[in-house]
Every structure is written in C-alpha cells, then in structure tokens.
Chain A
C-alpha cells in the first residue's frame, strides 16, 4: 500500500466512486459538496456601492482542497463568508450537497452544522480555557461534560497543545491560539472546513509546520477544505485546485489544478512542477491592471 493510499484509506473514503488514478489524490469523481452559482455581493457603504464579488461560479467536490488566492481586497473574505452562511449574497445561490443554505432570508442551520470555520483571528473566548474553547461547539450541541473534556484532550494532543488544556488564551502564543481555533473547528468532525488566512499572522517557520499539519488533518478527516490565503506558495502546496481571484469587482480569474502527489513534503516545493505552477500563477497576478 502506498502512503497516499493509506491516507485515503484513513480518510474513510468509502464513496466507492472511481477515484482519479495516478499519483494525485484528486477526487475528480466525488460528488459535488459545495456550489456557488452566479454569486455576487454588493456592499452599501457611505461612499456608495462596492461590488466586492461578481458572478462567481464554483463547484467543489467532496474531499477536495481548494485554495483561494488573490491580492488583499479582492473579495476572498467576502466569498468565504458567503460560503459559510455568515453573509447573504446579493445575487446567486450557495448550495451544500445540492441544497441551498438560505431559506429565504434565514440560514438553514441544519445544513451548516457540517461546516467548520477558522478565521484570520483565532477568536478564542478569553473567559474559557483552551479545553473549554475547543469543546464549545460540543457544548452548544448538548454533549455532556465528561465527553467534552475527553474530546478536548484528544484534540489538544492532535494539534500539539497538550498540557495547555487548562490555560487561558491570553497565556498562549499566536500560533498556539490559531491551533486551538483549528481544534475548535475540528471538534465536531465537520465535513467542510472553511479557513480565512488562518496562518496569516504566523512566522514562516510556524507556518510551514502548520501547513504540514493541515495537510495531514485533511488527509485523515477526508474533509472538503476551502482555504483562503494570499501566499501563492502556500496555496499551491496545500491545494488540489487553486482559484485565483482578481479585484474590483472580485471575479475568478483562473482555476489551476495541482497534480502533485500527496502527502507533499516541504522539499516538494522546490520541484520543477511545483515551481512551474507557482510561476504561472504569479504571472497571472502580475498581469492585473
């Protein structure tokens, strides 16, 4: 068994659909999990209307890792908030497993229970300990105290926060906080992970480490991931497909598949194929007016 096959096996990929062969673990045949159809967003501001996102169509398959890149202000956060149901689109539809996540003006909370969100800031609650923060989603779902504690311990172990279960967020470093935020999002085994520049505030070394961890979490959990970043290298390293956005208004400029074998090591970043993809994306970014 290859390592890659092991990862897929661990992911519990029993969808039985013919997974794309070759070296990439791209689930080309998996069913569509998330869909944006003709999505636009117009903000009303004091200085007039801002067209943040315009006519975005995107289908994301189950288990797929999508990186969303673009300059700051090109609508990445807006798009992710629309995907996560925190922001209603001005036009268009958002579907999860074929169902719209909006029922009129109300969110379909049932559909959103499978979503896990990680924001640019860790957004931990200062009045809760690390363990309490991590298991907050379980508390909201009525899971008992003992089970919550056990799960929090397990997750602390997984994200490398063992021994900090009882610490308050103010006692953690930025990287540790972000890990706790990821653990919180993982606590209820979401099948869809939406992450908005989660490592933006971290130093390069910590970032590399977190990227490796995220890759193995993705492989182990088999979750669908939409990952926003402004680092092209990071985007290519993690993604099955890289979606490049251009600003004013935010539109999809290109969708680039990354057919590199998984799991990827940091050394893979110096391979010719990796470099070629990065170069291509960079060229596209530089073409912008």
Chain B
C-alpha cells in the first residue's frame, strides 16, 4: 500500500522527462531521417542555438518582461473583476437573471475577433494586450465565483446562524473560505486564457513581447527564432500556471483538489 502510494507520487517525475526525450527524439527524427526542410522544421539543436544567442545577446529579456507584465497585470485585474462580479451576481439572483442573455452572448462571442478592435482603441503598446487579457480571463473566474457563492453549504449556514454570527463573521469564516476553491478553479482556467490573450494581442499589433518576436521571426523566415519564441511562450505559460497552482496549495491547503506532495 505504502510503496504503491510512493510510486504513484514519483511517477510523474519519472514519466515527464521520458516523454520530453521521446518528443525531442521524434522531432530530431523528423528532421534528420524523414528529411523535413529546416525552413519548416529546424532541428532541436538549431532552436537551442537560437535560444542561446537570444539570451547571450540579452535582447530577449525585454520581450519576456513585456509579455510577463501583460499577462500578470491583466490576470490580476481579471481576478479582482471576476471575483467581485461573481460575488455580486451570486448574491443578487434577479440581477443575474436580468444579465443572463448578455452573459450568454458574451460567452459565445469569439473574443479573439475583438483583438484588432482593442489594438485600434488602445494602441500598439502594453495597454491593448492587458485589456484583451482581462476580457479573456475574467469570465471563467466570474462564472466559478458565482457558482461558489451559491454553493455555500446549508448545514454550514445553520451552524453560523445557530451561533448568532454577524454578517461580517459569516463572510470571514464561512462564505469567503468556501468560495476560495471556486476562485482558484476559475483562476486556473483564467491564467491559461490570459497567456493566450497576450500572445494573440502581440501577434496582431505590437512592438515588443514574445508574441511579437515570434511574428517578426516568421516574417524574417527565421525558423529557429520562431520556434525559440514558441518554446519561451510555452515555458512562460507553464510557469504561470504552476504559480497559480502553488498559490492554491498555500491558500487552501485543506481542499480536496490539493493533494499532499
């Protein structure tokens, strides 16, 4: 029993490097054996070289910083707005009913289609990307918080009422902690959307950022540079997602979705 638990915990740490190696092997195979053109698919080594050049010349840091700021700032604002709106709508069912059609419309709208509009409205700088990020990320957070506010356990409410808890005490000791898991569930989706928002914003109109770097490399037919930018974007996305997961571990260690390390 005990041993199997340990193995289960260690398993991802063993399997992930293997999968990465298999992936790199297949990539190398496609390039050197299957003979895919290096202009379409450069070898892993070429992409690695490109990454090394980027970091040794130091030019890439400014791009990383810009994208990171767009995602983090946009995501943070999305968490605040999404939580606030979700909490308000959760409390006021009549308002939710009134806004239901508008919310459905907003949900099904392909928001990526709005990106050029935001570029026109807010310019080529960081602001338009932050706006796109917020628009994409706040919605899943809002929906989750709305659900969370509604799902406060009735039995738990009885406990607080039976103890004569004040409004504020009920919020602090019951409503807030019982909604936090929903905030994090929304945030885990939201951070992924936030990264997508920033990248698409940069593809379509920017002077800086990793998305912009990818886009200019493509135009310059610099395949290794393009792939290097994609690798960096992926790493950024993964790191940010794990940052949210880590925050969850720290804030709600009691929740079932948090397994012991």
Chain A residues near B (Cβ < 8 Å): 84-86, 107, 109, 112-113, 115, 117, 119, 121, 123, 125-128, 136-137, 139-140, 168, 170
Chain B residues near A (Cβ < 8 Å): 153, 155-156, 158-159, 161-166, 169, 173-174, 177-178, 180, 252, 254-256
Complex interface: chain A residues within 8 A of B177 (CB) = 125, 127
Given A86-B158, A168-B254: A125 and B174 interface contact (C-beta under 8 Å): yes
A123, B153: Cβ atoms under 8 Å?
yes
Cα of A249 to Cα of B162 in the assembled complex, Å: 26
A123, B178: Cβ atoms under 8 Å?
no
B155, A86: Cβ atoms under 8 Å?
no
Query: Which applies to chain B's interface (DSSP): helix, strand, loop or mixed?
Result: helix
Complex interface: chain B residues within 8 A of A139 (CB) = 173
A115, B162: Cβ atoms under 8 Å?
yes
In the complex, 13 of the A-B residue pairs with CB atoms within 8 angstroms, ordered by the A residue number, are: A84-B162, A113-B164, A119-B155, A119-B159, A123-B155, A123-B156, A123-B158, A125-B159, A125-B177, A128-B254, A136-B163, A170-B254, A170-B256
Complex interface: chain B residues within 8 A of A113 (CB) = 164
Given A125-B174, A125-B177, A127-B177: A86 and B254 interface contact (C-beta under 8 Å): no
Residue among B159, B163, B169, B254 making CB contact with A126, cutoff 8 Å: B254
Query: Which applies to chain A's interface (DSSP): helix, strand, loop or mixed?
Result: loop
Complex interface: chain B residues within 8 A of A136 (CB) = 159, 163, 173
A117, B178: Cβ atoms under 8 Å?
no
Given contacts A86-B158, A127-B178, A139-B173, 6 further A-B contacts (CB under 8 A): A86-B162, A123-B153, A123-B159, A125-B159, A126-B255, A170-B254
Residue among B155, B169, B254, B255 making CB contact with A140, cutoff 8 Å: B169
Cα of A121 to Cα of B156 in the assembled complex, Å: 10
Given A126-B254, A127-B252, A140-B169: A121 and B155 interface contact (C-beta under 8 Å): yes
Complex interface: chain A residues within 8 A of B252 (CB) = 127
